């Protein structure tokens, strides 16, 4: 966890209302850090449904495997999250640690181990001493509170510089429902998700299969459209829990239920807000970069090109140096392996077109573009002129601080 807050941190942090059926607490278990909370326990009322999407890494962490296996039941009574140790690449020891953690939590609150969901973030390859959870689990269960989202978001931070929270409300039928979410993530961020943990809670009454459908749909243009450094983690986890405690809420069985129209928008808003906060907290970041690619042969092609630009160290360092070097953008478009035509290509920094039809824009003004590049938020648009495909991704610049943070991470 960095001591200096990112200059891109949100200026407004929302009040986070309680979600009926969700209570939380944090504790210092000494997993890796000293003098700060590093364990989160969230308790859910009986009947709470669960959904999740996870890393695409072929080397997933032990908690990711645990959650995938237990999602089948669709039921959740608790979530245990620790920071400081990812419990990844830890072999049989890691699997034993997840089982012991779940057993400790299940015995404490009186439920089945497969109703306990787990997530870990931190250093890869070091065994997690799950016995450290035992001394704090009962005190956690005894001290849970419904208005604890800010503290919960702080407890799961690693190299993050600020806790990430978001909330929204919607109506399902005549019932008002609330959504609250927390996230962590600042580096090793690349689709599909990354060393990113996010947990979303709602009092809506939604079945597990419907919840899964909503989450899969919502992640595509939010968390899966964010990259910090192009590196996909072993551990990324996005889970959603629905308690069904909202008064008068109809029970929803299908993600396609038309009653969910407003809820889908509210969920997207929460996921998009959290995803942008992750981009704003990129390790060492000084500039938030929004990249739009349009005129591609398909949306999928536009996504690949946008990610090629967003993950280019040369593009990211140019923006860190406040240099509108569109030549590096051309390079990133060309290497993406997607249909493109140099002589149809146009590029904008901010609202200023700098390149058009394969050459520098005739009206290019260095002073105007330089002023645009000094802003903390940079908008970069590429028009390919090949079709109707469009996509948008978020990233940040690449600075010396990124190297320092990652060079010192295990020190």
Q: Which member of 37, 49, 121, 195 is catalytic?
A: 195
Please give the structure tokens belonging to residue 228: 């910090």
Would you say 158 is a known binding-site residue? yes
Q: Kind and range of the H or E element at 55? A: none
Residue 266 CA: distances (Å) to CA of 18, 260, 271: 17, 10, 9
Strands (E), 257-369: 288-296, 346-349, 352-356, 359-360
Is 195 noted as a catalytic residue in this protein? Answer: yes
Report the 10 Å Cβ neighbour count for 373: 19
Would you say 411 is a known binding-site residue? yes
Closest CA to 314 of 326, 296, 301, 302: 326
Task: Return d(Cα 81, Cα 137) in angstroms, integer.
Answer: 12
Task: Return d(Cα 68, Cα 72) in angstroms, integer.
Answer: 8
Strands (E), 135-281: 164-172, 175-184, 197-202, 237-242
Would you say 233 is a known binding-site residue? no
Listed in sequence order, the residues at least 6 apart from 355 whose beta carbon sits closer than 8 Å to its beta carbon are 326, 329, 330, 345, 346, 347, 361
Task: Return d(Cα 396, Cα 282) in angstroms, integer.
Answer: 6
Q: Kind and range of the H or E element at 51? A: strand 49-54
Q: How many CA atoms lie within 13 A of 231 on its CB side?
A: 13
Would you say 70 is a known binding-site residue? no
Listed in sequence order, the residues at least 6 apart from 181 whose beta carbon sits closer than 8 Å to its beta carbon are 165, 166, 167, 198, 199, 200, 201, 270, 271, 273, 274
Question: Which residues share a beta bridge with 145?
Answer: 24
Phi/psi at 30 (5° precision): 70, 35
Task: Return d(Cα 308, Cα 194) in angstroms, integer.
Answer: 17
Q: Are strands 288-296 and 377-383 parallel, antiparallel or unpaired?
A: parallel
Catalytic sites, residue numbers: 195
Query: Binding site residues for substrate, as ranges?
Result: 158, 184, 195, 283, 406, 411
């Amino acid at each position: 966890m960095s001591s200096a807050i990112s200059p891109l941190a949100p200026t407004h942090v929302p009040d986070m209302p309680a979600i009926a059926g969700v209570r939380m607490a944090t504790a210092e278990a000494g997993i890796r850090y000293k003098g700060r909370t590093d364990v989160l326990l969230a308790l859910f009322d009986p009947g709470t449904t669960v959904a999740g999407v996870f890393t695409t890494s072929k080397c997933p962490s032990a908690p990711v495997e645990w959650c995938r296996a237990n999602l089948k039941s669709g039921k959740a009574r608790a979530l245990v999250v620790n920071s400081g140790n990812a419990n990844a690449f830890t072999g049989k020891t890691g699997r034993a640690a997840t089982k012991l953690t779940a057993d400790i939590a299940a015995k404490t609150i009186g439920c089945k181990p497969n109703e306990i969901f787990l997530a870990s973030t931190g250093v890869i390859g070091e065994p997690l001493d799950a016995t450290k959870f035992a001394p704090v689990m009962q005190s956690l269960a005894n001290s849970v509170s419904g208005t604890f989202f800010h503290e919960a978001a702080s407890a799961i931070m690693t190299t993050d510089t600020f806790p990430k929270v978001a909330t929204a409300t919607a109506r399902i039928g005549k019932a008002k429902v609330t959504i609250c979410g927390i996230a962590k993530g600042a580096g090793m961020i690349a689709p599909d998700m990354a060393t990113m943990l996010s947990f979303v809670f709602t009092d809506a009454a939604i079945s597990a299969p419907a919840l899964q459908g909503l989450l899969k749909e919502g992640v595509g243009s939010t968390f899966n459209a964010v990259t910090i450094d192009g590196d996909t983690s072993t551990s990324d986890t996005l889970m959603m829990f629905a308690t069904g405690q909202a008064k008068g809420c109809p029970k929803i069985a299908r993600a396609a239920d038309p009653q969910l129209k407003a809820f889908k928008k509210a969920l997207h808003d929460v996921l998009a807000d959290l995803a942008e906060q992750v981009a704003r907290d990129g390790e060492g970041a000084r500039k938030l970069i929004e990249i739009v690619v349009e005129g591609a042969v398909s949306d999928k092609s536009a996504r690949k090109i946008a990610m090629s630009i967003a993950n280019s160290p040369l593009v990211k360092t140019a923006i860190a140096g406040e240099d509108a070097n569109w030549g590096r953008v051309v390079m990133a478009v060309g290497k993406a392996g997607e249909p493109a035509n140099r002589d149809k290509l146009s590029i904008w920094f901010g609202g200023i077109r700098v390149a058009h039809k394969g050459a520098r824009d005739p009206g290019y003004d260095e002073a105007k573009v330089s002023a645009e590049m000094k802003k903390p938020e940079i908008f970069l648009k590429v028009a390919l002129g090949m079709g109707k495909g469009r996509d948008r991704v978020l990233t940040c610049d690449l600075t010396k601080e990124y190297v320092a943070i990652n060079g010192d991470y295990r020190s």
